[in-house]
């Protein structure tokens, strides 16, 4: 991977804004270059492919160097590559996948400086050995392999100097695009959604908070037959030491796994997301493939608990209830329930039939005994969401603050399942883990206000 010095990392807002601005400007320049080549006789489809490849490379380079909120946007986008049209997905897929697990690393001298500042001059005494080469570099920190002083293999996660200010600064710049959503999605309270996202992103900067969450997951899934969470060894605000975990990254299962492996991985992935709120009162809120490993013993290993949605009472019961009622065909109750939960604001009217057509594909995996996620299915749903004609019901819907992270997890999770092409009995997982889904509708009604 390319190395950059700490002086190369953009810090000031004006510099970072300029970096962000190079994305569309760079694409315009490449498009002009492509036009020149096409006039010169090069086939248009080859020119288009070259432009897409260079665009993907620049997106990775710019977002990777920023290492903050923009990098996280890039990681989120990489989840949804399954929705890109097949004719353009090739040039983007490899580059976008890189965003899930890597970014340009810090130089060794900077790593040592951070460890000295955070752990003291004798930081090496904590370790029998420390590998200066990072094993992973992501949005706000990078990971090094080491051996703890008691002989345990550990992962040492180090936050980039200035990452906090950069992360929030990037988010502020990107949030300015929120005004566009107000025009395109009049039913969405975008200010509330962005405020919630900013608060959750800020939490990711505190490694002590992350350590608390990871330790909670590790205890909750200790000796579990399906899952393994490495426990925390030590932590402070900017350095997190956890048990080391080997395994095959989910991204490799997506690329090279057999159908049986992809089905197993997808089923465990869904089971983990559905069961964790009930078992530990938290939902892992960053479900991209780089955070999951298939272990040799058949378990699914989970990493990175910086983004966690705390749900002490588990999933909202209305989530399961409304899904069940939708499957039963009672759209009047579904609309009333969505309005009561804040998904439809008081001044917005929606067409029940249009809403049914929009929601049907998303509920389908819980309506049938067995379901197969696919890129083609995801592309069709993406077309529905991005259709900004006034008649599209999605423009009328709101995202309540309490569901922001749940929606983020489910949307990203569907993207991962479509990358995997998983076939499994997802309905069984909903029945087992989602409150309200299996309840008798005569016993409990959805609250209507």
What is the Cα–Cα distance from 242 to 260, expressed in whole angstroms? 31
Residue 180 pLDDT: 52
Q: What's the distance, CA 41 to chain centroid?
A: 42
Report yes or no: 1 and 102 within 8 Å, Cβ to Cβ. Answer: yes
Q: Apex CA 274: angle with CA 269 and CA 276, to 5°? A: 95
Hey, is 228 helix, strand or coil?
Answer: strand
Integer CA distances (angstroms), 426 to 87, 224, 231, in order:
30, 20, 29
What is the Cα–Cα distance from 449 to 446, expressed in whole angstroms? 10
What is the token pair recorded at 227?
């899952």
Q: What is the 8-class DSSP label of residue 285? A: -
Report yes or no: 143 and 134 within 8 Å, Cβ to Cβ. Answer: yes
What is the Cα–Cα distance from 421 to 427, expressed in whole angstroms? 17
Of 304, 287, 84, 342, nearest to 213 (Cα)? Answer: 304
What is the token pair recorded at 114?
């951070």
Report yes or no: 23 and 59 within 8 Å, Cβ to Cβ. Answer: yes
Residue 36 pLDDT: 41
Residue 377 pLDDT: 85
Residue 32 pLDDT: 38
Residue 124 pLDDT: 94
What is the token pair recorded at 202?
């800020």
Residue 164 pLDDT: 75
Residue 27 pLDDT: 38
Q: Mean pLDDT by 10-residue block, N- to C-terminus, for the chain (449 residues)?
A: 34 43 40 40 50 52 53 49 48 51 73 91 94 83 94 94 73 60 57 72 83 93 97 90 95 94 97 95 90 96 92 91 92 92 87 83 89 86 60 75 82 89 95 87 41
Residue 349 pLDDT: 86
Q: E strand or H helix at 33, and its extent?
A: helix 13-39
Q: In which residue are the tokens 């897409």 written?
A: 52
Report yes or no: 406 and 399 within 8 Å, Cβ to Cβ. Answer: no
What residues does 144 pair with on adjacent strands? 134, 156
Q: What is the 8-class DSSP label of residue 395? A: G
Report yes or no: 311 and 281 within 8 Å, Cβ to Cβ. Answer: yes
Q: What's the distance, CA 188 to chain centroid?
A: 21
Residue 393 pLDDT: 76
Report yes or no: 69 and 171 within 8 Å, Cβ to Cβ. Answer: yes
Report yes or no: 163 and 6 within 8 Å, Cβ to Cβ. Answer: no
Hey, is 233 helix, strand or coil?
Answer: strand
Helical H runs in 99-249? 108-119, 163-175, 178-184, 190-203, 207-220
- The torsion angles phi and psi of 157, rounded to 5 degrees, stand at -95, 125
Residue 215 pLDDT: 93
What is the Cα–Cα distance from 13 to 197, expressed in whole angstroms? 20
CB-based contacts of 13, cutoff 8 Å, min separation 6: 169, 172, 173
Residue 98 pLDDT: 54
Residue 379 pLDDT: 75
Of 423, 415, 422, 362, nearest to 100 (Cα)? Answer: 415
Q: In which residue are the tokens 């492996």 written?
A: 261
What is the Cα–Cα distance from 138 to 113, expressed in whole angstroms? 19
Residue 415 pLDDT: 86
What is the token pair recorded at 190?
């975008």
CB-based contacts of 7, cutoff 8 Å, min separation 6: none
CB-based contacts of 208, cutoff 8 Å, min separation 6: 235, 236, 237
């Amino acid at each position: 991977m390319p190395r950059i010095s700490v002086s190369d990392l953009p810090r000031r807002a004006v510099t970072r804004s300029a970096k962000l601005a190079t994305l569309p400007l760079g694409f315009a320049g490449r498009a002009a270059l492509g036009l020149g080549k096409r006039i010169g006789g090069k086939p248009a489809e080859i020119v288009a492919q070259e432009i897409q490849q260079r665009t993907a490379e620049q997106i990775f380079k710019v977002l990777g160097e920023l290492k903050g909120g923009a990098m996280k946007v890039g990681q989120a986008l990489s989840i949804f590559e399954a929705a890109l049209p097949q004719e353009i997905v090739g040039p983007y897929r490899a580059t976008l996948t890189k965003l899930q697990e890597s970014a340009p690393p810090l130089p060794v001298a900077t790593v040592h400086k951070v460890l000295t500042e955070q752990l003291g001059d004798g930081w090496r005494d904590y370790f029998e050995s420390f590998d200066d080469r990072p094993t992973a570099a992501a949005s706000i920190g990078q990971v090094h392999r080491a051996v703890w002083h008691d002989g345990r293999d550990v992962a040492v996660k180090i936050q980039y100097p200035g990452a906090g200010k950069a992360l929030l600064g990037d988010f502020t710049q990107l949030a300015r695009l929120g005004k566009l959503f107000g025009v395109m999605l009049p039913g969405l309270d975008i200010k509330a959604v962005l405020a919630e996202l900013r608060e959750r992103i800020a939490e990711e900067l505190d490694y002590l908070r992350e350590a608390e969450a990871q330790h909670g997951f590790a205890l909750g899934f200790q000796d579990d037959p399906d899952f393994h969470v490495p426990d925390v060894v030590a932590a402070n605000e900017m350095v997190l030491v956890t048990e080391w975990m080997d395994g095959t990254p989910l991204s490799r299962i997506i690329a090279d796994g057999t159908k049986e492996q992809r089905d197993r991985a997808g089923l465990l992935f869904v089971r983990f997301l559905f069961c964790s709120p009930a078992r530990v009162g938290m939902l892992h809120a960053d479900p991209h493939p780089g955070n999951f490993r298939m272990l040799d013993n058949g378990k699914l290993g989970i990493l990175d608990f910086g983004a966690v949605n705390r749900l002490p009472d588990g999933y909202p019961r209305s989530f399961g209830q409304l899904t069940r009622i939708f499957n039963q065909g009672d759209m009047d109750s579904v609309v009333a329930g969505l309005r009561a939960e804040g998904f439809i604001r008081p001044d917005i009217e929606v067409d029940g039939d249009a809403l049914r057509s929009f929601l049907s594909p998303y509920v389908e995996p819980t309506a049938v005994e067995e379901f197969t996620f696919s890129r083609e299915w995801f592309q069709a749903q993406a077309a529905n969401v991005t259709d900004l004609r006034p008649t599209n019901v999605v423009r009328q819907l709101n995202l309540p603050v309490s569901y922001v992270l749940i929606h983020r997890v489910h949307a990203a999770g569907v993207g991962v399942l479509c990358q995997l092409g998983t076939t499994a009995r997802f309905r069984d997982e909903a029945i087992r883990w989602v409150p309200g889904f299996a309840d008798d509708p005569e016993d409990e009604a959805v609250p209507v206000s």
